[in-house]
Amino acid sequence: MHPKILVPLVLLSSLAQAADDLLGETTGGNTTVFATGRNAFSFPAANLTDAEQSRFVIGNSFFKRNWVQAPASTKARDGLGPHFIARSCGGCHVNDGRGAPPAVGQQPVGLLIRLSISGLGAHGGVMPEPTYGDQFNNAAVQGVKAEGKVDIAYTELHGNFADGAAYTLLQPSYSLHELGYGPLANEVLVSPRIAPQLIGVGMLEAIDEAELERNARQQAAEKGPIKGMINRVWDAPAGKMLPGRFGWKANVATIAHQTAGAFQGDIGITSSVFPDETCTRAQTDCVAAPRGGQGKAPEIDDKTLGDVVFYQATLAPPARRAPNDAEVLRGQKLFAEAQCSTCHRPSYVTQASPNPQFSSTALNGQRIWPYTDLLLHDMGDALADGRPDGLANGRQWKTPPLWGVGLIKEVNNHQRLLHDGRARGVLEAVLWHGGEAETSRDRVLKMSQPERAALVKFVDRRLRVRHR
Ligand code: HEC
Ligand code: HEC
């Protein structure tokens, strides 16, 4: 090749690269996988070493395996319950994806109900409901009563966009009944939450705390109602208060805490982090039920627990699709105009993971596109659960990352969005935005049909993958 044309070619290709980056096609930098379909959320970061890939596979097997009631012949996987909701992590995070509210008449699995009463618990956390604890477990092993059943009913709400087009939203209401241990406290606070997709959580953990502070500072300095704040929560593995990043109220700081907490609270598997079952004193059958594992040791050992944490930390975000499509580009502009990007901050560069023992250096220094500020925002009455969680009040929720939101349809055959899965797609999710996001929602109400379609397509329906 002639040297004179080599130079501009190189320039051109690096420009193209930069443009790609601006569009955020490589959602997770070098970790990005170009995948669609059912398994789009289940791939390891593309740049893991072979040894790390093996660890990922081991972690995956414990994420998916069903735990069984103790005593069983396989000590390595007994200890389910006594109270639980699902038998495995994958039972709720189906294909590493998102849970859905149950069909009418069915019991929820991918949606769980957090409980508390008013007042502050240990380390500024919640005060558990005295008889039922901090979570409602609608399943139990044989010989133990379940805590009860959850019913969800929906009321249809009707509205119109400024152009006259009609929309319908589903307003959920919850009731807890067939209670196993008598009445709930009168002042019980209830917070329904669906299981989110797990892609890229390791990189969310590797966003510098200073970036979260910067988001809050910038929002505080701007005019207008958007004023996000950091949640600060107790991290049991680290033994200190840390900024919250995970859970719908940023109520958990690390993947390690979330994992040990889910093993204990959702499946009934104890660990060195949370060595006790969740039975309250009033639940005598639960207290008396046989424990799993080997003697006095926790039901899951530290190595296995660490492998499950590593597995999630290294789940890759899939690439965005059709980032150069004209309608997508139009939607991207509308997204910024409607101030969506103030809370759903597009991009960061990761630092080294604060928990390298459960993560990979492959995640360090990557330009990622999660679309979140990881801050709490007042989202208005209609979304409020009235249940404080750490510094979060009963009207605040954490801005969830938007990466992968469009692929939930392919992975989970539904697209139930928001903390309790009430929204059936992106547009409904936006129509529920209130409080600090009211101006954004009003802007969307005034959009023309083609503008709404472009906005949704930007967040969601990008046409196709470029590679693979
Ligand atoms: C009963 C259903 C259920 C089971 C079982 C379950 N999860 Fe979850 N998971 C959830 C829900 C609901 C949330 C959101 C919790 C909240 O907002 O407090 C969540 C959140 C998470 C998050 C944080 C994601 C984020 O971005 O906020 C991680 C990581 C996670 N789960 C991992 C696991 C692991 C590992 C297991 C198995 C040990 C597991 N989960 C078992 C329902 C479940
Ligand atoms: C004030 C901050 C803020 C603004 C502005 C904002 N959002 Fe959100 N967004 C949130 C929060 C917080 C949630 C979670 C609310 C809940 O779960 O109840 C959310 C949830 C969502 C969801 C559902 C995600 C999921 O995983 O279920 C979508 C989609 C979304 N927003 C898109 C948008 C779009 C598009 C705009 C602009 C029109 C926008 N948001 C403006 C804070 C904001």
Question: What is the structure's pLDDT at 18?
Answer: 38
Is the beta carbon of 399 within 6 A of some atom in ligand 2?
yes
Higher local confidence (pLDDT), 3 or 35: 35
Give the model's confidence band at 149: pLDDT under 50 very low, under 70 low, under 90 confident, else very high.
very high
pLDDT in tens, 303-342: 999 999 999 999 999 998 766 788 988 999 999 999 999 9
Is the beta carbon of 372 within 6 A of some atom in ligand 1?
no
pLDDT reading at 102 higher than 80: yes
Question: What is the structure's pLDDT at 451?
Answer: 98
Cα dist from 239 to 18, 37, 124, 257, 452, whole Å: 41, 40, 14, 10, 46
pLDDT reading at 236 higher than 50: yes
pLDDT reading at 16 higher than 60: no
Q: What is the mean pLDDT of residues 431-437?
A: 98
Contacts of 382 (CB under 8 A, 6+ apart): 171, 432, 434
Find out whether 200 and 28 touch, Cβ atoms under 8 Å: yes
Cα dist from 32 to 234, 322, 363, 404, 444, whole Å: 31, 15, 10, 12, 31
Q: How far is the CA of 257 from the centre of ligand 1 (A)?
A: 11
Give the model's confidence band at 467: pLDDT under 50 very low, under 70 low, under 90 confident, else very high.
very low
Closest CA to 110 of 133, 129, 89: 89
Question: What is the structure's pLDDT at 252?
Answer: 98
pLDDT reading at 370 higher than 80: yes
Q: What is the mean pLDDT of residues 75-102?
A: 94
Q: What is the mean pLDDT of residues 186-199?
A: 97
Which residue owns the Cα nearest ligand 1 atom 18?
A: 247
Give the model's confidence band at 207: pLDDT under 50 very low, under 70 low, under 90 confident, else very high.
very high
Question: What is the structure's pLDDT at 464?
Answer: 38
Which residue owns the Cα nearest ligand 1 atom 5?
A: 89
Question: What is the structure's pLDDT at 200?
Answer: 97
Is the beta carbon of 80 within 6 A of some atom in ligand 1?
no
Place of tokens 């929602």: 441
Find out whether 197 and 27 touch, Cβ atoms under 8 Å: no
Residue type, 258: Q
Question: What is the structure's pLDDT at 320?
Answer: 85
| Residues 265, 270, 272, 274, CA torsion sign | positive
Closest CA to 133 of 166, 100, 84: 84
Question: What is the structure's pLDDT at 21?
Answer: 43
Question: What is the structure's pLDDT at 104?
Answer: 83
Q: What is the mean pLDDT of residues 194-223?
A: 98
Question: What is the structure's pLDDT at 24?
Answer: 53
pLDDT reading at 371 higher than 50: yes
Which residue owns the Cα nearest ligand 1 atom 28?
A: 258
Q: What is the mean pLDDT of residues 394-415?
A: 96
Number of Cβ within a 10 Å radius of residue 306: 18
Is the beta carbon of 371 within 6 A of some atom in ligand 2?
no
Instruction: 156-163: list long-range contacts, CB under 8 Å, 24+ apart.
Output: 159/431, 161/445, 161/446, 161/447, 161/449, 161/452, 162/445, 162/446, 162/447, 163/448, 163/449
Cα pseudo-dihedral 232, 207, 249, 432, rounded to 10: 140
Is the beta carbon of 245 within 6 A of some atom in ligand 1?
no
Question: What is the structure's pLDDT at 20?
Answer: 41
Q: How far is the CA of 402 from the centre of ligand 2 (A)?
A: 8
Question: What is the structure's pLDDT at 13?
Answer: 35
Cα dist from 216 to 210, 335, 375, 405, whole Å: 10, 20, 7, 24
Q: How far is the CA of 440 from the centre of ligand 2 (A)?
A: 9
pLDDT reading at 15 higher than 80: no
**Degrees to nearest 5, angle at CA 97 with 92 and 100:** 55
pLDDT reading at 231 higher than 80: yes
Q: How would you class 464 by CB atoms within 10 Å of its CB: exposed for 0-12, middle for 13-18, buried for 19 or more? A: exposed
What is the residue-averaged pLDDT of the chain? 91
Higher local confidence (pLDDT), 19 or 126: 126
